[in-house]
Amino acid sequence: MSKILLVEDNEMNRDMLSRRLERKGYSISLALDGAEGLLKARTEAPDLILMDMSLPVMDGWETTRRLKADDATRKIPVIALTAHAMATDEQKAREAGCDDFDTKPIELPRLLGKIEALLQPNAGT
Amino acid sequence: MALLRATSIQRKLTLVIMLVTTLALLVAAAQFVINDVRDYRRRVVDDLAILTRILGQNVTPTLEFDDPKVAEQILASFQAKPHILAAAVYARDGKLFARYNPPDRPGAEVPATAPAEERRFSRGRVFLCFPILKGPDRLGSIYLDFDLVEVWLRVGKNCVIIAAMLAISALVALFAATRLQRFITRPILDLANLANAVSEKHDYSVRAAKHTEDEIGFLIDCFNGMLGQMEKHEKILREVNQQLARSEQRAQAATEAKSQFLANMSHELRTPLNAIIGYSEMVEEELEEQGHRQLVPDLQKIHAAAKHQLGLINDILDLSKIEAGKMTLFLEVFDLAATVHEVVNTIQPLVSKNGNHLELDCPANLGMIRSDQTKVRQVLFNLLSNAAKFTEKGTIRLHVSRAPRTQDQNLGAGSQNPGAGAAGNGEHQPGLTDDLLRADGQIVFTVTDTGIGMSPGQLGRLFQAFTQAEAATTRKYGGTGLGLAISKKFCQTMGGDLTATSELGKGSVFTVTLPANTTEPFRGARGGMLTVPTALTAETRASGSAILVIDDEPAARDLVQRALTKQGYQVETAASGPEGLARARQLLPAAITLDVMMAGMDGWAVLSALKADPATADIPVIMLTVVDDKNLGFALGAADFLIKPIDWDRLTSVLEKLRRKRVSPQVLIIEDEPETRELLRRAVEKQGWQVVEAENGRVGLERVAAQVPGLILLDLLMPEMDGFAFMEELRRRPNGGHVPVIVVTAKDLTDEDRRRLNGHVIQILQKGGHSTQELVDEIYRLLASATDLAKDI
């Protein structure tokens, strides 16, 4: 069973997403802000991280950057979740190191597709 | 006359005074002279009359005793008086009795008989004739002819004296006038100078000094009054400007506050809705799972309502943004056909819901366009969803095409007409670069449906916000009524437009036109003004031999050739891979620029061939692609290329060249295949170099950040961050710009590889590759460093 770390400060979003993903068979770990997300990523080594971009303490971009800079967490795929849908946001997310990007409101099938794509072992170069 | 007008009032006043004075003097003089003359003449004549009468009496006895001789003797005493021209005595009967003529001059004739007794003036003479009387008896008459020349002499003398007097008087008058006119003119001149000073320096605080209480004084008062007014007005103007500046600041702040508000509201308004949408979905899922199907429809209604509200909020916010003028375009280069297919796929469920059939007519070679992808998607989606909504069991057709530019397109905001465009006149071989960005032309989307159509009235209100065809329509068909208004505004902002035609009951046609190349005003130098870092050219130019430009696009070839020739290089060109190879072997140029995207034998294949042939293997190659001769290009900034399977001798020689340059002894190997990496490591270490490894571009950048290597061996095709992205990023860093990079790439590229490579190029172009300016700079830089590298062997 794959473990997903969900870093999201909004309680309702957290609640919704975690329950729905759990029902789909994922094990969910939660973090309420960027710093906690960083910590949990290191200690729990999830298979994937869903990162809300606007977080307190440390925002999503900075957290992602740090995750990708740290050898221990570098390989964990990160999907950025953002409320905005501007192309600049996507670019910003990718520049921070995010592997993929999805917009809120979350469309579960779409997000699931992205999660599955990143969780599959690398098919080589 | 003009001269007179231009003289100073001082002179004018003096002149006037002089004129008047002289005139007065002249008149006075004239009167005096006339009077004097008349007086004198009268006196002269009176004296003469007395003399004549006296002599007349003296000759009385001669007349009595008829003795003319004695009469003549008596008449001879007229001698004493000069200017007497003739005299005569006449007897009682009028006959001439005695005469006189001056002895020393001719004199004049006397009349034969006695003339009338009178004084007569004629011919400058006076003729006197008086009766000679003894008591009551008239014995005869005496006649005198007198030359009045004396009088004229006196006139002449007077005139001379008067003239002299006039001259002196005039001089005195002039002197006095010159001095005295100042009283009048000085205040005027002062005022004039003051006015001039005020006009030049705009200093309204000065005032004219008033010295007199006359009209000039009054003028000065008025002038000072005006200055006072101007001063006051200026102060008011300054204050008003300040107020305006403050108002502007406030307005600006208000606009910013409004934008900020919009942005915040956007987030605030959506958040609760996300919860409603999310939870209702979730509960729906849970219920389905637990088998309580009957509650699901209610939840779906909640869900639908929330989604509808979200749509409304988005639309309202969009519209507010447009109206606040805050709708910005995010321009990028993207594949149009791909986007169209995306939208079509997304809309398919909606189309099928009403039993409709969607036909797509979209040519595969539409190519790339530069526009705001999100908005294009939104507009297409809007039109297609409208078509789907208002059509039942009908046909919806989407037709996409590319058309040459029309005049109208130039009127849109944000569209640019680059004039020469792809400079193609005459032969124009189509290639991939051709598709990538055509500088001219527009895209036309047509959405046709066989739905309910619209009446002319409805058509007229079509693009107005919040006006659906009629109130009933919203209830039946849903929607917000904002979509078309927003879509039209989007199209216009992008420099195009959205129009519609329709027939009630038959269907509608919506047409979108957009420029294929929506751009901001071009900020860089226009084509032709290519500057170059001069330090680089001297050396490379001195190498003497030619640069070979291989590119199948005439425009691109031309651009690079012109740029290089301008700086003194000798340039040869080739229009295809095979031709390029042949010429390269023939010419053995100092460097080769190689187009990545060529039809037929593409850049990678040419590169492989060049590096495989020992004759040409050492020639530095610059891989680039020039997309549009004004806007975009891309250069792979590699110092050299190694083709797999790696020629270790070549690698050795490259390392040797570098060692001589005393660079850092570290080589960074960026290669994702562990086996290849291992091989490279061993080969490099054997040459005595230190090796640092990285399995992809991102790690490579980290390594470079940690320590700048002397050389980078870079594989192009890697996951996570490939060679292209790595190069782009590396060049952007201050310490990374000068590290020589040797690109390692496979000899026989599969089609997949090729697609990926070219895709990377497109991606970089999409992100906004070098402008022409930057590209040419990069070419020079690469040429310099490449030929530099090649030199020392």
pLDDT tens track for B716-772: 878 777 787 888 788 777 766 677 888 887 766 777 777 777 766 666 666 665 666
Contact B554, B428 (CB under 8 A): yes
Closest CA to B536 of B787, B255, B761: B787
Interface of A with B in 66-85 (CB under 8 A): 68-69, 83, 85
pLDDT band at A79 (very low <50, low <70, confident <90, very high): very high
* Nearest CB neighbour to A87, from listed B278, B279, B374: B374
- Nearest chain B Cα distance for residue A26, angstroms: 16
Over residues B429-444, the mean pLDDT reads: 55
pLDDT at position B502 is 92
pLDDT at position B358 is 92
Kindly report, residue by residue over B560-584, the tens digit of the pLDDT: 887 777 766 788 889 888 889 988 8
Between B543 and B724, the higher pLDDT residue: B724
Between B431 and B439, the higher pLDDT residue: B439
Q: Are strands A78-82 and A100-103 parallel, antiparallel or unpaired?
A: parallel
CA distance B188 to B193: 9
Q: Which residues of A touch B674 (CB under 8 A)?
A: none
Phi, psi for residue B88 in degrees, rounded to 5: -155, 150
Contact flag A105-B282 (C-beta cutoff 8 Å): no
Which residue spans within B221-306 are E strands per DSSP? none
Q: Can you read off the two tokens belonging to residue B276?
A: 């409603």
Contact B426, B445 (CB under 8 A): no
What per-residue string of b and e applies to B41-78 under the rule 16 or more CB within 10 Å gives b?
A: beebbeebeebbbebbebbbebbeeeebeebbebbeeb
pLDDT at position B538 is 40
* Nearest CB neighbour to A87, from listed B270, B330, B719: B330
Contact flag B282-A16 (C-beta cutoff 8 Å): yes
pTM of the shown model = 0.37
| Strand (E) or helix (H) holding B169 | helix B149-201
Q: How far is CA A86 from the centre of its chain?
A: 18
Q: Which residues of A touch B718 (CB under 8 A)?
A: 125
* Nearest CB neighbour to A13, from listed B274, B673, B718: B274
Contact flag B274-A104 (C-beta cutoff 8 Å): yes
Contact flag B274-A85 (C-beta cutoff 8 Å): no
Kindly report, residue by residue over A48-72, the tens digit of the pLDDT: 999 998 888 888 889 999 999 988 8
Kindly report, residue by residue over B687-712, the tens digit of the pLDDT: 788 899 998 888 888 888 888 888 88
Q: Which of A12, A21, A88 to mutate: most B Cβ within 10 Å?
A: A12
Report percent pLDDT > 90 for chain B: 10
Q: Is A24 on the interface with B (CB under 8 A)?
A: no
Please spell the DSSP secondary structure of A6-18, one letter per residue. Answer: EE---HHHHHHHH
pLDDT at position B27 is 92
Contact flag A69-B279 (C-beta cutoff 8 Å): no
Q: How many CB atoms lie within 10 A of CB B123?
A: 10
* Nearest CB neighbour to A108, from listed B281, B698, B719: B281
Q: Which residues of A touch B672 (CB under 8 A)?
A: 125
Q: Give the position of tokens 């006149």.
A: B425
Phi, psi for residue B287 in degrees, rounded to 5: -65, -40
As beta bridge partners, residue B276 has none
pLDDT band at B460 (very low <50, low <70, confident <90, very high): confident
Largest CA distance in chain B: 192
- At position B42, the amino acid (one-letter code) is R
CA distance B314 to B320: 10
Q: Which of B274, B331, B372 to mutate: most A Cβ within 10 Å?
A: B274
CA distance B100 to B107: 9
Over residues B118-122, the mean pLDDT reads: 84
Over residues B611-623, the mean pLDDT reads: 82
Over residues B528-541, the mean pLDDT reads: 35
Closest CA to B731 of B742, B739, B719, B723: B739
pLDDT band at B413 (very low <50, low <70, confident <90, very high): very low
pLDDT at position B266 is 74
Q: B459-463, B495-499, B532-536: which range is least confident on average? A: B532-536
CA distance B205 to B194: 11
Between B656 and B132, the higher pLDDT residue: B132
DSSP B111: P
Q: Which residues of A touch B277 (CB under 8 A)?
A: 105
Integer CA distances (angstroms), B625 to B259, B422, B738, B761, B762, in order = 41, 14, 21, 8, 10
CA distance B187 to B221: 12
Q: Can you read off the two tokens belonging to residue B391?
A: 């059509």
Contact flag A12-B279 (C-beta cutoff 8 Å): yes
Q: Which residues of A touch B310 (CB under 8 A)?
A: 105
Between B680 and B266, the higher pLDDT residue: B680
